[in-house]
C-alpha cells in the first residue's frame, strides 16, 4: 500500500510500529523467503566480498537516503558491481545485443505545455527526428529473433534542447526492484558460466533458481511467459518507459508521468510451436519484417500516451509508484494520447547506426526529470559507463547517430577519438575572456531537477510498500482470456520441464499458488509434480483488484488485416480469376502477400499468366505468414499431396489456428495431411471474388482460437 502522509520520493515520518515505519526489515523478510536465499546444501557458505576483499553485508539493496529516497553515490559496492557487469562484453552489448533500428520522427498531437517546460511537448504538429532500436535481451548478436524474451523498445528523440532517450521495453514492469540485482538477473539467464549454453533461453536451472528465490519477479514472469514475449512483429507490440518519471513546468512544479507506446496496427503474437519453427525458417524474421515494411512505404506507427498523476493519486494508489515491478492499470488512470512515432527510413549502415547508437536513461531534456525509483536510479549510473566501455571513449557522442541535432557548446576536450575540441584559448569555466571565453550557464533555460526534500537514515533497505509481490501478478493473469491463460500455463510448464532440479520446479509452483491456484495446478500436473505447500508470502495476495482488459492482447484485437502478410501457395493451372481477386482483396486491406510455389520460378495460372514466386515450398513454410490460401489445380493438388513440406504447410497452419483459404481441389492435400475430417469455420472454401474478399476480412481476426482445444494435448489439462 502507498504510505499515507508522505510525498512520493520522500521518506515518510512514522512513529515506531506504524505501517511503513520499519526500516530494519531484512531482504529475506521483504521477499517472504525466510532467509532461503542464503541456504546452500552441503556445508558452510563463503562470505560475499567486494573485489577488494571487503565483506558485503547486503547484496540486495543499493544504499539510499531513506526507504524511498535517492541512491547515494558513495555506494562503492553497487558501483563496483555494476561497473564490472557493464564491462563484461567486448564489444557486444551485455544485454540487448540482438537489435535492429530505424529512423523516423515524433509528432506532437496534444500539447503538454500546462505541465512541462520540455520543448518537445509544446507545439502541436511539430515533428522531431527520432531513432528507435528494438532488441531482445538475453541472446547474443547471433541469436534468433523469436526467442521468448523481453523486447527492448529504446527511442532517441533529437529535441531542440538535447537528446531524450526513453529506454524502455515491450513490458511495463521489470523483474527486480533494485538495480543492484541486475547483474545477478542477467547472469542467471545468460548461458551458464561453466558450459556456455543454453543461448537466448530462460528454460534452464539457473534462471528459474533465481526467480524462485526472488518473488518480486513473479509479476514480470507472468508477462514473459505470456504471448507478449513472442511478438509476431516489432510493428505489432507496445512499448513502455517502465519507470515513473517527473514532468516539471517553468516554476519547478512536478507531475508524475508514465510513458506508453501503442501500435496503430494493434498487437499480435505467435504461439510457441510457431516461434520455434520460425527461428529455423528465418532467424531474422523480425528484422526482415521491419525492413520490408519501411522499404515498401508501409511505415510503422505508434501513438505516445502518458499517464499523468499527482501526489494525491500516488498516496491513494494501492501500490508504490516508485516500484518498477508494478504498473498503474489504464482503467484506474487512463492513458492520454499526446503524439505519434513514425518510422519512415531504414539505416544506411547497420554498424554505424544500429550498433553504435548509445542510449542512456539519464539523457532527458529540461522539463523531464527522474523519480526515486531505485531501478531507474541505478540505470542512470550504469548506462553511461556501459557506453564508454563498449564504444571505447567518452567521445561516443561524436558519432553521428548519437550526436544531438541542436547546438552544443561545452569545455569537454581530448580523449580517445575526439572529433572536435573547444576553439580558442579558454577551455575552463568560469573565465574572464568575455565573448571569446566560450559558453556560459543559462539559469532560465538550463536543466533543473525537482527540488525534493529528502529525509531518512542512510541505509540499505526496501520500503515496506514494495513488499507485495503477487497481487499484480494475479491481476495480469486474471485479465487474460482463457486462451492466453492457457498459453501462460503452457509456457511455464515447458520452461520448468527443462529445469533438472525438482526442488527448483517445486519452489516456482509454490509461488504460483499465490497468483492462481488453477495455474499452479495446471503447471504441477504438466510436470507430474505433487502440488507443494504455498511459499511464504511477505504480503497476502489481494483478490479485490478488478480485471484490466488493457493487459490482454486478444481483448484488444487489431482493426483488420492491415500490415499483415498472406501466404498464397500456388500451383500451375490455379484459377487466375480467384488469384487476382485474392490479391485485390489483400491490397484493399492494406496488407501484403507472398506467393509460395513448388518451384521458385513460380506458377502458370489457368489463363496462361506466369506468376513469380517469392518462396519455394520447402523454404516458405506457413509459419512465415499470418494467414494462408492454397490455390491449386487438380494436378497441382495431387503434386502437393505427395510432398512432405506441402503437407507441413497445411498442418502447421491448421495447428497454429490460422485462417486457411482453399480451393475445392485442395481436398486431396488435406486428405493426405490428415485434415479432411477436421476442417472448421476457420477454413474457408474459395470459389470466386466474393469468397476472396470474405476470406481476407475474416482473416483480420488473425487466429481461429476455437481450434486450439482440438489440436493441443494440453488444452484440457
Surface-to-core class of residue 562, CB atoms within 10 Å of its CB (0-12 exposed, 13-18 middle, 19+ buried): middle
User: What's the Rg (C-alpha) of the chain?
Assistant: 27
Pick the CATH number of 466-551 from 3.30.830.10, 3.30.565.10, 3.40.50.720, 1.20.1370.20: 1.20.1370.20
Q: Give residue 435's pLDDT band: very low, low, confident or very high (50, 70, 90).
A: confident
How much of the chain, in percent, has pLDDT values that exceed 90?
80
Task: Establish whether 96 is a catalytic residue.
Answer: yes
CA 254 – CA 244 distance, rounded (Å): 12
* pLDDT tens figures, 173-201: 999 999 999 999 999 999 999 999 999 99
- Nearest-5° Cα angle at 279, 274 to 281: 90
625 is written with which cell numbers?
Answer: 505468414
For the ranges 25-29, 198-202, 293-297, 395-399, the lowest mean pLDDT is seen at 25-29
3-state secondary structure (DSSP) of residue 518: helix
Residue with cell 525466510: 34
Question: In the chain, what are the domain boundaries?
Answer: 63-398, 466-551, 565-716
Catalytic choice (163, 169, 206, 372): 169
User: How far is residue 159's CA from residue 156's CA, in Å, rounded to a whole number?
Assistant: 9
Residue 561 has pLDDT above 80, yes or no: yes
Domain over 63-398 is classified CATH 1.10.1740.10: no
Measure Cα distances from 626 to 296, 568, 594, 623, 658 in Å: 18, 11, 11, 8, 7
Calpha distance 334→492 (Å, rounded): 31
Fold classified for 565-716: Rossmann fold (3.40.50)
- Give the lowest-confidence range in 70-74, 255-259, 376-380, 578-582: 70-74
Residue 402 sits at the vertex; the CA angle it makes with 398 and 408, to the nearest 5 degrees, is: 60
| CB-side neighbour CA atoms (13 Å) of 399 | 21
Does the pLDDT of residue 290 top 70, yes or no? yes
Distance of CA 224 to the CA centre of its chain: 9
Q: Is the pLDDT of residue 91 over 90?
A: no
Q: Which residue among the candidates 77, 96, 286, 487 is catalytic per the annotation? A: 96
Strand 627-631 and strand 660-662: pairing? parallel
Average pLDDT, the chain: 92
Residues 6+ apart with CB under 8 A from 41: none
State the angle between helix axes of 502-515 and 205-212 in degrees (0 to 180), rounded to the nearest 10: 40
Residue range 531-542, pLDDT digits in tens: 999 999 999 999
pLDDT at position 103 over 60: yes
SS3 41: coil
Q: Where do we find the cell 511455464? A: 492
> Does the annotation mark 169 as catalytic?
yes
Please state, in angstroms and rounded to a whole number, the distance separating the CA atoms of residues 402 and 359. 8
Query: Average pLDDT, stretch 243-262?
Result: 97
Mean pLDDT is highest, among 25-29, 133-137, 411-415, for 133-137
Mean pLDDT of all residues in 70-88: 85
Query: What is the spatial distance between Cα 192 and Cα 169, in angstroms, rounded to a whole number?
Result: 25
Q: Distance between CA 283 and CA 286 in Å, rounded?
A: 8
Residue, of 34 and 674, whose pLDDT is higher: 674
Burial status of residue 407 (CB atoms within 10 A of its CB: 0-12, 13-18, 19 or more): exposed
C-alpha cell, 46:
563463503
pLDDT band at 150 (very low <50, low <70, confident <90, very high): very high
Q: Which three-class secondary structure state does DSSP give residue 90? A: coil
Burial class (CB in 10 A: 0-12, 13-18, 19+), 563: buried
Give the strand pairing for 627-631 and 615-616. Answer: unpaired
Give pairs for 520-527: CB < 8 Å, separation 24+.
522/489, 522/493, 522/717, 523/489, 523/492, 523/493, 523/496, 525/717, 526/489, 526/490, 526/493, 526/497, 526/714, 526/717, 527/493, 527/496, 527/497
Indicate whether 676 pLDDT > 60.
yes
Q: Do domains 63-398 and 565-716 have the same CATH topology?
A: no
pTM for the whole structure: 0.91
Cα(318)–Cα(537) distance, rounded to whole angstroms?
18
Task: Say what the pLDDT of residue 31 is.
Answer: 63
- State the sign of the Cα–Cα–Cα–Cα dihedral 355, 356, 357, 358: positive
Closest CA to 679 of 693, 695, 697, 658: 658
pLDDT value for 21: 35
Q: What angle do CA 340, 342, 345 make, to 5 degrees?
A: 165
Mean pLDDT over 495-520 rounds to: 98
Cell of 49: 566480498
**715, 709 in Cβ contact below 8 A?**
yes
Amino acid at each position: 500500500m502507498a504510505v499515507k502522509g508522505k510525498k512520493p520520493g520522500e521518506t515518510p515520518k512514522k512513529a515506531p510500529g506504524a505501517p511503513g515505519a520499519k526500516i530494519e526489515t531484512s531482504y529475506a523478510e521483504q521477499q517472504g523467503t525466510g532467509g532461503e536465499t542464503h541456504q546452500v546444501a552441503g556445508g558452510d557458505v563463503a562470505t560475499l566480498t567486494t573485489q577488494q576483499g571487503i565483506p558485503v553485508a547486503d547484496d540486495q539493496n543499493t544504499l539510499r537516503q531513506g526507504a524511498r529516497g535517492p541512491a547515494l553515490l558513495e555506494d562503492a559496492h553497487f558501483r563496483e558491481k555494476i561497473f564490472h557487469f557493464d564491462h563484461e562484453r567486448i564489444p557486444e552489448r551485455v544485454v540487448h545485443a540482438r537489435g535492429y533500428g530505424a529512423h523516423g520522427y515524433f509528432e506532437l498531437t496534444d500539447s503538454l505545455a500546462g505541465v512541462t517546460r520540455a520543448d518537445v511537448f509544446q507545439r502541436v504538429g511539430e515533428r522531431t527526428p527520432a531513432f528507435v532500436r528494438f532488441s531482445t535481451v538475453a541472446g547474443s548478436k547471433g541469436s534468433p529473433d523469436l526467442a521468448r524474451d523481453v523486447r527492448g523498445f529504446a527511442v532517441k528523440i533529437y529535441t531542440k534542447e538535447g537528446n531524450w532517450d526513453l529506454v524502455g521495453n515491450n513490458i511495463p514492469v521489470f523483474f527486480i526492484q533494485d538495480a543492484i540485482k541486475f547483474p545477478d538477473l542477467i547472469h542467471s539467464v545468460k548461458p551458464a558460466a561453466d558450459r556456455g549454453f543454453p543461448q537466448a533461453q530462460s528454460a534452464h536451472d539457473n534462471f528459474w533458481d533465481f526467480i524462485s528465490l526472488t518473488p518480486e519477479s513473479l509479476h514480470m514472469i507472468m508477462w514473459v511467459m505470456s504471448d507478449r514475449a513472442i511478438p509476431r512483429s516489432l510493428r505489432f507490440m507496445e512499448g513502455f518507459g517502465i519507470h515513473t518519471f517527473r514532468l516539471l513546468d517553468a516554476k519547478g512544479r512536478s507531475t508524475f508521468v508514465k510513458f506508453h507506446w501503442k501500435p496503430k496496427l494493434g498487437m499480435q503474437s505467435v504461439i510457441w510451436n510457431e516461434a520455434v519453427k520460425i527461428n529455423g525458417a528465418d532467424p531474422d524474421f523480425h528484422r526482415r519484417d521491419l525492413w520490408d515494411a519501411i522499404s515498401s512505404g508501409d511505415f510503422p506507427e505508434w501513438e505516445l500516451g502518458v499517464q499523468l498523476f499527482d501526489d494525491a493519486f500516488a498516496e491513494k494508489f494501492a501500490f508504490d509508484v516508485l516500484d518498477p515491478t508494478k504498473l498503474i492499470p489504464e482503467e484506474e488512470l487512463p492513458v492520454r494520447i499526446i503524439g505519434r512515432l513514425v518510422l519512415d527510413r531504414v539505416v544506411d549502415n547497420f554498424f554505424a547506426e544500429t550498433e553504435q547508437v548509445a542510449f542512456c536513461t539519464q539523457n532527458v531534456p529540461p522539463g523531464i526529470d527522474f523519480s526515486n525509483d531505485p531501478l531507474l536510479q541505478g540505470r542512470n549510473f550504469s548506462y553511461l559507463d556501459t557506453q564508454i566501455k563498449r564504444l571505447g571513449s567518452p567521445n561516443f557522442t561524436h558519432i553521428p547517430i548519437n550526436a544531438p541535432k541542436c547546438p552544443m557548446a561545452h569545455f569537454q576536450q581530448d580523449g580517445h577519438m575526439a572529433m572536435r575540441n573547444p576553439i580558442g584559448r579558454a577551455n575552463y569555466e568560469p573565465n574572464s575572456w568575455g565573448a571569446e571565453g566560450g559558453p556560459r550557464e543559462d539559469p532560465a533555460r538550463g536543466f533543473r531537477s525537482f527540488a525534493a526534500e529528502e529525509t531518512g537514515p542512510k541505509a540499505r533497505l526496501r520500503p515496506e510498500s514494495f513488499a507485495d509481490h503477487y497481487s499484480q501478478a494475479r491481476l495480469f493473469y486474471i485479465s487474460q482470456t482463457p486462451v492466453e491463460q492457457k498459453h501462460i500455463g503452457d509456457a511455464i510448464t515447458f520452461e520448468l520441464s527443462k529445469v533438472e532440479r525438482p526442488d527448483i520446479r517445486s519452489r516456482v509452483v509454490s509461488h504460483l499458488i499465490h497468483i492462481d491456484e488453477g495455474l499452479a495446478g495446471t503447471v504441477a500436473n504438466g510436470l507430474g509434480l505433487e502440488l507443494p505447500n504455498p511459499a511464504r508470502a511477505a504480503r497476502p495476495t489481494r483478490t479485490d483488484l478488478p480485471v484490466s482488459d488493457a493487459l490482454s492482447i486478444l481483448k484488444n484485437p487489431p482493426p483488420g488485416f492491415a500490415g499483415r502478410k498472406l501466404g498464397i501457395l500456388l500451383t500451375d493451372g490455379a484459377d487466375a480469376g480467384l488469384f487476382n481477386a485474392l490479391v485485390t482483396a489483400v491490397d484493399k486491406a492494406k496488407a501484403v502477400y507472398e506467393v509460395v510455389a513448388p518451384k521458385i520460378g513460380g506458377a502458370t495460372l489457368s489463363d496462361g499468366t506466369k506468376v513469380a514466386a517469392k518462396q519455394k515450398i520447402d523454404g516458405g513454410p506457413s509459419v512465415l505468414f499470418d494467414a494462408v490460401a492454397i490455390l491449386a489445380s487438380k494436378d497441382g493438388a495431387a503434386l502437393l499431396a505427395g510432398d512432405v513440406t506441402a503437407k507441413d504447410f497445411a498442418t502447421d497452419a491448421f495447428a497454429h489456428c490460422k485462417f486457411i483459404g482453399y480451393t475445392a481441389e485442395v481436398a486431396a492435400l488435406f486428405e493426405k495431411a490428415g485434415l479432411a475430417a477436421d476442417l472448421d469455420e476457420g477454413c474457408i472454401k474459395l470459389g470466386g471474388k466474393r469468397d476472396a474478399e470474405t476470406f481476407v476480412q475474416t482473416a483480420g481476426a488473425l487466429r481461429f482460437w476455437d481450434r486450439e482445444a482440438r489440436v493441443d494435448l494440453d488444452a484440457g489439462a
